[in-house]
Amino acid sequence: MLSALIYLSIYTHLNLKKKDINFGIYYIYNIYIYIYIYVCDNKRTELVFVSGCDSGFGHDLAKFLDSAGMRVFAGVLDELHPGALKLKKDASPNLTVLQLDITNSSQITQAHQYIQSQTGKTGLWALVNNAGVLGYVCDGEILPIKMYKKCLDVNFIGSVEITQAFLPLIRQSKGRLISISIPLPGFAGYGASKAALISFNGAIRQELSRWGVKVIIIQPGAFKTIKYDFILSTIIHFPDILGSREQWNSAQEDILSGLAQEVMASYGEEYIRSMQQRLVNMSSVSSSDTGPFLEALKHAILSPRPKPFYYPGASAWALPLLYRHSPTSLSDRIFSRIFMSSDAQPAELLNS
């Protein structure tokens, strides 16, 4: 109705061409969207549930949404984690920290019961599936099956289970389901689990549209969200997925002790121990400004017309562009230079 009135007014009084009027309406509509999200509705009261808020993107997002005036339920793997305790201390009364291991069905049920008691007839406006694990960075051939299973259990099965639990509340509000998937070439276990999650979201996006529910995928570029004192003190930390130094050392020893003699001879211990260097290489092409990611999430949550996919960060749009529009040989070469150290080669290749 507003667009029609604007159209008639401009056409009658200014006698502009139709294509100019259509452009004007499009321009005015975009101004309206901006004002709706960032001015008039800058303080919102929507109820949002975010998993994986101990640290990383989830931690930053929970604080960001809280500061925007939303009612935030922040799921954490460990309520006694320093990040969880800091979140409790710094947040407003509108943010509630909940114990949530997304592979633990009873904890999902407890979180659902609590949030349902808080939403009433309103329902839950948005669920942000942020929790995930990276596993261990190494070649797909030598990554133990149990690490593939761990990635699938958390990144896919856990996300599906929590989605199924909370969808009735989201359908009630005609809200949004948002999942985070970071494109990481060379991470076979993580990539396989996230590919499954993207396929799942693609299917339910069409199914849930009948209820007015929006299903959204955020694929951010590489951002530095926290630094650890290991791996040359410059390791990049993706959202709650890397684990501790002890876990990485343990995983490395599992790989070394579990490989068949033939495979060990092909790769060599020195090459396997060099795998953690890949994350250092990634750090050099990562941004410390998480603003684009947070703004993309805010738009996905608040916009009356959210996009099905968001690619915040320079490398986020670059990766899909290379995959879709460049020869495979070219994209493989570029990704190898970025994510693989030219100094580290499997033993068999070095001796050939």
Sorted by where each begins, the domain ranges of the chain are 1-41, 43-226+289-324
Stronger pLDDT, 156 or 351, i.e. the higher one: 156
Highest average pLDDT, of 118-122, 227-231, 271-275, 324-328, comes from: 118-122
13 vs 307, higher pLDDT: 307
| Cβ contact 84:106 at 8 Å | no
DSSP H or E segment with residue 267? helix 261-267
What pLDDT, on a 0 to 100 scale, did the predictor assign at position 325? 78
The pTM assigned to this predicted structure is: 0.78
| Predicted local confidence at residue 237, as pLDDT | 36
- Closest to 213 in 3D by CA, of 171, 257, 162, 264: 171
| Strands (DSSP E) found in 189-330 | 214-218, 309-310
pLDDT at 263: 93
pLDDT at 62 over 90: yes
Residue 236: pLDDT band (50, 70, 90) is: very low
φ/ψ region of 77 (left if φ > 0, alpha if ψ in -120 to 50, else beta) reads alpha
Largest CA distance in the chain: 84
| Cα separation values, 316 from 156, 209, 269, 292, Å | 21, 26, 33, 11
Mean pLDDT, residues 116-135: 91
Q: Any catalytic annotation for residue 190? A: yes
DSSP three-state, residue 254: helix
Considering the domain 43-226+289-324 in this protein, what is its CATH number? 3.40.50.720
pLDDT confidence of residue 329: 85
List C-alpha distances in Å: 47 to 157, 209, 276. Answer: 24, 20, 39
Lowest mean pLDDT among 16-30, 110-124, 185-199, 302-316: 16-30
- Give the pLDDT confidence score for residue 77 in this predicted structure: 94
For residue 133, what pLDDT is reported?
86
Exactly one of 11, 32, 190, 267 is catalytic; which is it?
190
Q: Is the pLDDT of residue 16 over 60?
A: no
Per-residue pLDDT band at 278 (split at 50, 70, 90): low
Q: What is the pLDDT of residues 24-36, one digit of tens each?
A: 554 554 544 444 4
Q: What is the mean pLDDT of residues 90-109?
A: 96
What pLDDT score was predicted for residue 336?
72
The DSSP code for 223 is B
**pLDDT value, residue 220:** 81
pLDDT at 157 (0 to 100): 97
Residue 279 is predicted with a pLDDT of 62
pLDDT per residue over 250-267, tens digit each? 788 888 888 999 999 999
Find out whether 139 and 336 touch, Cβ atoms under 8 Å: no
